[in-house]
């Protein structure tokens, strides 16, 4: 069709050589593990032909995208084996780093673990004019960060025990970077842009460089921040993204690593580095960056995106969401039920969603169809790093986070969108709810 970008994505079983000479059974999209980066242009129409060549039901969700509920790829858009699902929508995002992944009811954890995920990048005019590194694979690098548990014969069956399900989720011990063990990158430029996705099932990553070097965070989940923010660490919960700019002009090798943390240990970002340097965790070495040493000096823009002011007074109502765990994982006291619509939200009205974490561990709360803004955490304004566009926000234990949300353009009284904890073992075991936009 004219004016429509078309992508063919085929989901299938495969074998992947994570370790030399050994084939691990996996799932992938157009390849044996993970899928290709889908690059989109804001304002264009896109059609994705998703063919299910697996022997089981699946779905494919476009995480972070504003689109009609029927195109969302959530639990209601089941793709049966041997069939193809072809959603079509307009790209209404700002430039940013997004992703796609299986969202099959009760099987999201298993299918993402096996490999059904990939990155999506959106470009727009505002970002193109900033002079940011943007040559894919040269100075603009996608990083899908995950961790897995391998058996003695180097298979990675999805087998979260009862304890993992009821507690931290499935936490691996082998870090994978774009599906690679021991990843490295030969950098040829002085300034490198990394698009980092925490694509793990349930692990929080306290990302930093082993030499403690400083870098700039330039984007959060839904796009560029208003201004680059200088730091030496970024905490990413499952589902969250950040873009960073790293200065390599000193020619020294830079090792990007993460302190892996489960949700109970996950603490506020500013404390992460202290814990890491104190040697509390064995770090996951995600990427060794080897500069050629002939890079130019750093040029980082001073201002980037223009974002609307965040005003609580714009909201016409407040909805409360209570996350809890005990013998079951619940939101507002109930487990996910595909037959029950939990919230009916009017289109085009700004609301405050008040997320209260009653449990003793952190949960990343994700909302479909929108990019929201964080109003406050226990009454305190958000840190710069999360003051931009977000679709996933961590609620720390016993904390209340208020977000400003709004659902525009699309209504569907029958088909719901999801909100849920993005720790996939929690999601699959009930910490999810549904809302329609009318
Ligand atoms: Cu990343 Cu409901 O999903
Ligand atoms: Cu999503
Ligand atoms: Cu959770």
For residue 147, how far is its CA from the centre of ligand 1 (angstroms)? 18
DSSP 8-state class, residue 332: T
- Residue 2 pLDDT class (50, 70, 90 cuts): low
pLDDT, one tens digit per residue, over 341-356 is 999 999 999 999 999 9
Question: Residue 266: its pLDDT value, please?
Answer: 66
Q: How confident is the model at residue 1 (pLDDT cuts 50, 70, 90)?
A: very low
DSSP-derived 3-state class of residue 79: strand
Summarised one tens digit per residue, pLDDT across range 130-150 is 999 999 999 999 999 999 999
Ligand 1 atom with minimal separation from the 61 CA: 3
Measured from CB, residues less than 6 Å from any atom of ligand 1 are: 61, 63, 101, 103, 239, 366, 368, 418, 420, 422
Per-residue pLDDT band at 276 (split at 50, 70, 90): low
- Cα separation values, 434 from 102, 340, 410, Å: 17, 7, 16
* Ligand 1 midpoint to CA 72 (Å): 10
Among the residue ranges 48-57, 261-270, 298-307, the one predicted with the least confidence is 261-270
Question: Both ends of the chain: CA-CA distance in Å?
Answer: 30
CB 275 within 8 A of CB 267: yes
Q: Which two tokens stand for residue 419?
A: 């909100």
pLDDT tens digits, one per residue of 408-429? 999 999 999 999 999 999 999 9
Q: Which two tokens stand for residue 29?
A: 């999209």
pLDDT of the residue at 270: 56
Q: How confident is the model at residue 215 (pLDDT cuts 50, 70, 90)?
A: very high
Average pLDDT, the chain: 94
Nearest CA to ligand 1 atom 1: 63
Instruction: State pTM to two decimals.
Output: 0.96
Question: Which whole number is the average pLDDT over 102-126?
Answer: 97
Q: What pLDDT digit, counting tens, does each position of 311-339 carry?
A: 999 999 999 999 999 889 999 999 999 99
Shortest-distance atom of ligand 1 to CA 418: 2
Residue 298 predicted with pLDDT over 70: no
∠ CA 398-401-404 to the nearest 5 degrees? 165
């Amino acid at each position: 069709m004219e004016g429509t970008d078309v992508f063919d994505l085929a989901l299938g079983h495969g074998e992947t050589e994570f370790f030399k000479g050994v084939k691990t059974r996996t799932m992938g999209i157009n390849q044996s593990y993970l899928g290709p980066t889908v690059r989109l242009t804001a304002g264009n129409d896109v059609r994705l032909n998703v063919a299910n060549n697996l022997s089981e039901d699946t779905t494919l969700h476009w995480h972070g995208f504003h689109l009609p509920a029927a195109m969302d790829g959530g639990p209601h858009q089941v793709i049966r084996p041997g069939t193809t699902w072809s959603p079509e929508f307009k790209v209404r995002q700002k430039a940013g780093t997004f992703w796609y992944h299986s969202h099959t009811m009760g099987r999201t954890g298993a299918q993402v673990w096996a490999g059904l995920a990939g990155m999506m990048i959106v470009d727009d005019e505002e970002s193109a004019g900033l002079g940011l590194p943007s040559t894919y694979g040269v100075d603009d690098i996608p990083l899908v960060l995950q961790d897995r548990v391998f058996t003695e014969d180097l298979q990675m069956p999805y087998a979260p025990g009862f304890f993992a399900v009821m507690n931290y989720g499935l936490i691996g011990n082998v870090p994978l970077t774009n599906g690679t063990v021991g990843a490295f990158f030969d950098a040829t430029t002085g300034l490198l842009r990394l698009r980092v996705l925490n694509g793990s099932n349930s692990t929080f990553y306290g990302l930093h460089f082993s030499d403690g070097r400083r870098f700039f965070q330039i984007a959060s989940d839904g796009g560029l921040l208003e201004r680059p923010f200088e730091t030496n660490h970024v905490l990413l919960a499952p589902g969250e993204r950040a873009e960073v700019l790293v200065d390599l002009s000193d020619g020294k090798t830079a090792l990007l690593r993460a302190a892996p943390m489960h949700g109970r240990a996950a603490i506020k970002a500013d404390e992460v580095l202290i814990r890491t340097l104190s040697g509390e965790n064995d770090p996951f070495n995600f990427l060794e960056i080897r500069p050629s040493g002939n890079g130019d000096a750093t040029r980082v823009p001073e201002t980037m995106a223009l974002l609307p002011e965040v005003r609580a007074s714009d909201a016409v109502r407040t909805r409360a969401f209570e996350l809890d765990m005990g013998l079951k994982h619940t939101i507002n006291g109930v487990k996910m039920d595909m037959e029950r619509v939990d919230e009916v939200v009017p289109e085009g009205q700004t609301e405050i969603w008040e997320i209260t974490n009653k449990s003793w561990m952190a949960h990343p709360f994700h909302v479909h169809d929108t990019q929201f803004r964080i109003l406050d955490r226990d009454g305190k304004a958000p840190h710069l790093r999360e003051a931009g566009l977000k679709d996933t926000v961590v609620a720390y234990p016993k904390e209340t986070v208020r977000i400003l949300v709004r659902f525009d353009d699309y209504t569907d009284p029958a088909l719901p969108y999801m909100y849920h904890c993005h720790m996939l073992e929690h999601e699959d075991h009930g910490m999810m709810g549904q809302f329609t936009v009318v």
